[in-house]
Amino acid sequence: MTRIEMRDVSSTMSIVDRVRRRRLINRQDRAIDRAWHSAPTQAMRDEIAIFAQRRTF
């Protein structure tokens, strides 16, 4: 493989990684949203909000 071909493969993998990461983040956002809406008390919603703010991507 030439250097240009290697770079094309690398950028393709980067795009795939970004798509996978975005899908995972969206899935986590939906799970947090469901948990927040189904929390029976304000204290539980507050805990979920704190957890959501501390996530690392």
End-to-end CA distance of the chain: 33
Look at the pTM and tell me if it is higher than 0.85: no
Structural domain including 34 reads 3-53
Cα–Cα separations (whole angstroms), residue 51 to 5, 25, 33, 57: 42, 14, 12, 13
Nearest Cα to Cα of residue 35 among 51, 56, 21: 51
Q: What is the pLDDT of residue 31?
A: 96
What's the domain count of the chain? 1
Integer Cα distance of 23 and 39 in angstroms: 24
Q: What is the pLDDT of residue 5?
A: 56
Mean per-residue pLDDT pooled into runs of 10, the chain (57 residues): 59 85 94 96 96 81
SS3 per-residue string spanning 8-40: HHHHHHHHHHHHHHHHHHHHHHHHHHHHHHHCC
